[in-house]
Homo-oligomer: A and B are copies of this chain.
């Protein structure tokens, strides 16, 4: 199975409905004026556990057989997916274990533990986290729920766009930040199935632009130790998400670090809502690429609001 089917998307949406928020769509005249577009912000920063990741993790956890569930779930995550999986496991009453880098923000560690999950710390490298996770899974038989390159997770993330196009039926485009591609590939599959006239766009930190390079070259590229404030977007596209992005995403716009911080602050000041840096990348991209968005009706997925309030970037 290389990607979720339309039936998988529908099943995921029904499976998770009782466990997640149907998040509101907000508008802001000041930001419409700043961008020349008509923007509809899908507020996943208000989602359970503070990010859209609740959707995919919940779908994965509630897709497990009773036998699988009894062995628990495990993942590696710098933050939001870990929280989301911890929360979903608690909702089903099963054990969750999250491998986190020692450098993860304290609020994210506390939140994972607050949902009752176990945390295993590792060095902040991909190799170290994989080693720690593999060892734990081999020991316990826990089910690995990947942060993005997992058909169950992608099907869950797809529910966000499904709500958005129901609430705002006449969009011209949708834009989401791109990290490992779980959200944008889910979004793209929903749009392809139900509103294929809508253009699907991505925004990416210039410092972690694997998806933009992949689309340009036609070959899946990776990020080499990216350094960006958008810590949720350091991952590279996966084996499952890349072909979906290649097939369905119109363009990916790169934004630099200053543009991300500027967009984040604009959202805080003008919309009075809290979004994390990774989340601001979508608005930064709308500001950076008016040729794609001006005079259009654009759904902007605000992905998450988990920020360390003691360490703001301004």
Residues of chain A whose beta carbon lies under 8 Å from any beta carbon of chain B:
24, 26, 45-46, 50, 107, 265, 268-269, 271-275, 305, 309-310, 312, 314
Give bound CA distance, A275 to B310, whole Å.
16
Q: How far is the CB of A22 from chain B (nearest CB, A)?
A: 13
This protein's copies in its complex: 2
Give bound CA distance, A312 to B269, whole Å.
13
Asked whether, in the complex, the Cβ of B309 is within 8 Å of the Cβ of A312, the reply is yes
Q: How far is the CB of A46 from chain B (nearest CB, A)?
A: 6
Inter-chain contacts of A309 with B (CB < 8 A) = 265, 268-269, 312, 314
Report which of B26, B45, B265, B272 forms a contact with A45, defined as CB distance below 8 A. B272
Q: How far is the CB of A305 from chain B (nearest CB, A)?
A: 4
Report which of B50, B107, B265 forms a contact with A272, defined as CB distance below 8 A. B50
Q: How far is the CB of A280 from chain B (nearest CB, A)?
A: 13
Can you spell out 22 A-B residue pairs with CB atoms less than 8 angstroms apart? A24-B24, A26-B46, A45-B272, A46-B271, A46-B272, A50-B272, A107-B269, A265-B309, A268-B274, A268-B309, A269-B309, A272-B273, A272-B274, A272-B275, A272-B305, A273-B273, A273-B274, A274-B274, A309-B312, A309-B314, A310-B314, A312-B312
Give bound CA distance, A309 to B312, whole Å.
9
Q: How far is the CB of A197 from chain B (nearest CB, A)?
A: 29
Give bound CA distance, A271 to B50, whole Å.
9
Inter-chain contacts of A272 with B (CB < 8 A) = 45-46, 50, 273-275, 305
Question: 6 closest A-B pairs (Cβ-Cβ)?
Answer: A272-B305, A272-B274, A45-B272, A273-B273, A46-B272, A268-B274
Inter-chain contacts of A26 with B (CB < 8 A) = 46
Inter-chain contacts of A312 with B (CB < 8 A) = 309, 312
Inter-chain contacts of A274 with B (CB < 8 A) = 268, 272-274
Q: A50-B272, A273-B273, A274-B274 are in contact. List 11 more A-B contacts (CB 8 A).
A: A26-B46, A46-B271, A46-B272, A107-B269, A265-B309, A269-B309, A272-B274, A273-B274, A309-B312, A309-B314, A310-B314
Give bound CA distance, A272 to B45, whole Å.
7
Among A26, A274, A275, chain B packs the most CB atoms within 10 A around the CB of A274
Inter-chain contacts of A50 with B (CB < 8 A) = 272
Among A45, A269, A309, chain B packs the most CB atoms within 10 A around the CB of A269
Give bound CA distance, A45 to B268, whole Å.
11
Q: How far is the CB of A215 from chain B (nearest CB, A)?
A: 31
Inter-chain contacts of A310 with B (CB < 8 A) = 314
Give bound CA distance, A41 to B310, whole Å.
25
Give bound CA distance, A24 to B265, whole Å.
22
Q: How far is the CB of A11 from chain B (nearest CB, A)?
A: 26
Give bound CA distance, A24 to B24, whole Å.
9
Inter-chain contacts of A305 with B (CB < 8 A) = 272
Among A26, A265, A272, A309, chain B packs the most CB atoms within 10 A around the CB of A272
